[in-house]
């Protein structure tokens, strides 16, 4: 061991031996995640849904858009596992195709939300003062809106379509992420490694991306996983209220909404797509919870 170096730092330097650095942070996280049965179940279900969404044309027994009025409201049977709806369309096939919309709606707005939130949060936290004040005031305002109502207003203005749901959910969602990233940035920006980077003249943008952002990733990962079910539920709610996906798209929320008129005659039309929503949202919530526990050693015990 280098004694001079030790004295210089006035601290004992532990040489990385094989025994100490057996596993990286992420390996450790993954290990404890694998022990969490609920999280693994959630992960498996999500993987299954992704496969279903990708291979929808091969898995769906019927054409989800094909209208045949003589097949209206067929009860669930061997032929039509989940029955048919008011236009004689196969409910199972529509749910299979609907998984594409729901996963897309879950993931894309969450990604946009994350990106906007990270940019604003890191800038607010790093620069502080006026910048911080302005960004945080706007995010306070956005957070004060009941999110569904704000999304409804945006959909009213932009008109109901899939792309506009992305926009609406992104406008609503970024503020929460920005808060988390800002808080993390505030606690990091006075740490030694950031100060030394600043001292040797690293540009603020590089400091933010290289030194601060990587330290926010654990929180962001949990936030992202828990943001997805929120987006899926919001889309379903918007579509249910008639300001989301438009017919003939087979969004699950829209399917429930269409089926509600015939709830007492043909309950399967409204009930089965709801189960699909519930299962995927639950799966993401289980995975997100597991991730949070795995990433937070304090709660792990």
Partner 1 sequence: MGHYIIRRLVISIPVTFGIALITFILLNVIPGDPVALMMKDHISADVVARVRAQMQLDDPAYIRFFRFIWNALHGDFGVSYKLNRSVSSLLMDAFPNTLILAISGALVSWIIGIPAGVLSAVKKRSFLDNSIMGFSLLGVSIPVFWAGLLFQYIFAFWLGILPVSGFDGPEYLIMPAIVLGWSSAGTISRLTRSSLLEVMRNDYIRTARAKGNLELKVVINHALKNAMLPVVTVMALQVAGLLSGAVITETVFGIPGIGRIAVNAIQNRDMPLLQGAVMFTTVLVILGNLVADVLYSLLDPRIKYD
Residue closer to partner 1 by CB (options 126, 268) is: 268
Give the nearest distance from C-beta 182 to partner 1 in angstroms: 17
Q: Among candidates 154, 126, 124, which has minimal Cα distance to 138? A: 124
Give the nearest distance from C-beta 185 to partner 1 in angstroms: 22
Give the nearest distance from C-beta 42 to partner 1 in angstroms: 10
Q: Which stretch binds partner 1 (CB under 8 A): 67-75, 106-114, 136-144, 179-187?
A: 136-144
First to last CA, the chain: 34
Q: Which residues contact 253 (CB under 8 A, 6 or more apart)?
A: 235, 236, 237, 238, 239, 240, 244, 245, 273, 277
- Choosing from 107, 148, 183, 221, the residue that interacts with partner 1 (CB under 8 A) is 148
Q: Is 159 left (phi over 0), alpha (psi -120 to 50) or beta?
A: left
- Choosing from 4, 69, 146, 201, the residue that interacts with partner 1 (CB under 8 A) is 146
Instruction: Give the residue ranges of DSSP H helices in the chain.
Output: 3-9, 25-35, 37-54, 56-59, 91-127, 129-144, 147-158, 162-188, 192-199, 204-206, 213-240, 252-259, 267-295, 297-300
Residue closer to partner 1 by CB (options 96, 255) is: 255
Residue 274 in the binding site for partner 1 (CB under 8 A): yes
Residue 233 in the binding site for partner 1 (CB under 8 A): yes
Residue closer to partner 1 by CB (options 86, 153) is: 153
Residue 44 in the binding site for partner 1 (CB under 8 A): no
What distance in Å separates the CA atoms of residue 120 and residue 204, rounded to the nearest whole number?
A: 14
CB 189 within 8 A of CB 125: yes
What distance in Å separates the CA atoms of residue 199 and residue 70, rounded to the nearest whole number?
A: 76
Q: How many beta carbons lie within 10 A of that of residue 277, not counting itself?
A: 23
- Choosing from 44, 267, 296, 297, the residue that interacts with partner 1 (CB under 8 A) is 267
Residue 48 in the binding site for partner 1 (CB under 8 A): no
Q: Which residues contact 186 (CB under 8 A, 6 or more apart)?
A: 125
Residue 281 in the binding site for partner 1 (CB under 8 A): yes
Site mask for partner 1 (CB under 8 A), range 243-262, x = bound: x---------x--xx--x--
Residue 115 in the binding site for partner 1 (CB under 8 A): no
Query: In the chain, what's the furthest Cα-to-Cα distance?
Result: 89
Residue 180 in the binding site for partner 1 (CB under 8 A): no
Contact residues for partner 1 (CB under 8 A)?
A: 38, 137-138, 140-142, 144-150, 152-157, 229, 233, 236-237, 240-243, 253, 256-257, 260, 263-264, 267, 270-271, 274, 277-278, 281-282, 285-286, 289
């Amino acid at each position: 061991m280098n004694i001079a170096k030790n004295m210089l730092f006035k601290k004992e330097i532990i040489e990385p031996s094989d025994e100490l650095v057996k596993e990286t942070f992420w390996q450790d996280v993954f290990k404890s995640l694998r022990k969490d049965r609920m999280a693994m179940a959630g992960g498996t279900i999500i993987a299954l849904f992704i496969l279903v969404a990708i291979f929808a044309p091969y898995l769906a027994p019927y054409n989800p858009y094909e209208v045949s009025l003589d097949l209206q409201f067929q009860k669930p049977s061997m032929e039509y596992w989940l029955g048919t709806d008011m236009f004689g369309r196969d409910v199972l096939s529509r749910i299979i195709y609907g998984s594409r919309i729901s996963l897309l709606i879950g993931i894309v707005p969450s990604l946009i939300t994350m990106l906007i939130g990270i940019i604003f949060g890191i800038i607010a936290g790093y620069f502080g003062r006026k910048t911080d004040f302005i960004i945080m005031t706007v995010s306070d305002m956005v957070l004060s809106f009941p999110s569904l109502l704000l999304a409804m207003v945006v959909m009213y203005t932009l008109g109901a379509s899939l792309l506009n749901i992305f926009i609406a959910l992104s406008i609503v969602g970024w503020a929460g992420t920005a808060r988390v990233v800002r808080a993390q940035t505030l606690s990091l920006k006075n740490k030694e490694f950031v100060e030394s980077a600043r001292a040797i003249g690293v540009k603020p943008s590089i400091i933010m991306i290289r030194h601060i952002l990587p330290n926010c990733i654990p929180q962001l990962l949990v936030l992202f996983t828990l943001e997805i079910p929120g987006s899926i539920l919001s889309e379903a709610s918007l579509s249910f209220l008639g300001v989301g996906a438009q017919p003939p798209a087979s969004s699950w929320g829209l399917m429930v909404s269409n089926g509600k008129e015939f709830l007492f005659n043909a309950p399967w039309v409204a009930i089965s797509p709801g189960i699909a929503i519930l299962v995927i949202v639950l799966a993401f919530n289980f995975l997100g919870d597991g991730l949070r526990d795995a990433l937070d050693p304090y709660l792990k015990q």
